[in-house]
Amino acid sequence: MSEQTVDLEKIERGVRLILEGIGEDVDRPGIAETPSRVARMYAEICEGLHLSPEEFLKVVPDETHDEMIVVKNIPLYSICEHHLVPFHGVAHIAYIPEGGRILGLSKLARIVDRISRRPQIQERLTTQVAELLDDGLRPKGVMVLIEAEHLCMSMRGIKKPGTTTVTSAVRGSFRRDPRTRAEAMAIIEKG
């Protein structure tokens, strides 16, 4: 991430103000470097704001596969845009290629990672991954399912740790054909 897109000094000043606001001694040895550490952390975990996921939409040349492809349990970490605390979980992606347009398997994980690394809500994250794949690959169908725990629900507010939120976005044949959707769900649910 370039220094031009992230103002580390501004983040440091903000973190210092937060620490002062909660009554912390910002000059004590264990805390004095925290604003700098937090600034670098936010630059890293929010790099998706400044990097394009489209760069991973490079199809494998000369392929003819036209059956369902499922990649399960892609770990993801994001930041809730409402409270700026993490949510984490897994993404499952299924798609049916059209015209042999398939991606390298790691590209699916990279797309999830890139889109996750920004202040986000899970519903939008799910939709953005599905739309990027649908627009970029033009498959017969795509389905994205995300399961995540939101620390804004676990450690504050309602305080219900272990609560999982599940979101899905389906396009093409996964939306039109319940059997295709059911097949993908059976593969995803299989341990």
Question: Do 17 and 79 belong together in one domain?
Answer: no
**Catalytic pick among 65, 82, 123, 189:** 82
**Catalytic pick among 80, 92, 120, 128:** 80
Number of domains comprising the chain: 2
In Å, how far are 39, 48, 70, 101 from 167, measured between CA atoms?
30, 20, 17, 26
Q: Is the pLDDT of residue 71 over 70?
A: yes
* Confidence (pTM): 0.94
Active site residue 33: no
pLDDT at 2: 44
Question: Do 33 and 95 belong together in one domain?
Answer: no
Tell me what the mean pLDDT of segment 172-180 comes to. Answer: 98
Q: Is the pLDDT of residue 187 over 90?
A: yes
Active site residue 152: yes
Active site residue 122: yes
Active site residue 83: yes
Question: Do 26 and 100 belong together in one domain?
Answer: no
CATH code of the domain in which 13 resides: 1.10.286.10
In Å, how far are 104, 124, 149 from 175, measured between CA atoms?
24, 18, 26
**Catalytic pick among 83, 131, 147, 149:** 83
3-state helix, strand, coil in the chain (%, to 5): 40, 25, 35
Question: Do 80 and 31 belong together in one domain?
Answer: no
pLDDT tens profile 101-148: 999 999 999 999 999 999 999 999 999 999 999 999 999 999 999 999
Surface-to-core class of residue 74, CB atoms within 10 Å of its CB (0-12 exposed, 13-18 middle, 19+ buried): buried
CA-closest candidate to residue 91, choices 166, 161, 162: 166
Confirm whether 65 is domain-assigned: yes
Active site residue 150: yes
Question: Do 144 and 95 belong together in one domain?
Answer: yes
Confirm whether 105 is domain-assigned: yes
Active site residue 46: no
Question: Do 155 and 69 belong together in one domain?
Answer: yes
Question: Do 89 and 111 belong together in one domain?
Answer: yes
CA-closest candidate to residue 173, choices 92, 98, 122, 123: 98
Confirm whether 52 is domain-assigned: no
For 54, which DSSP code? G
**Is residue 47 within 8 Å of 110, Cβ to Cβ?**
no
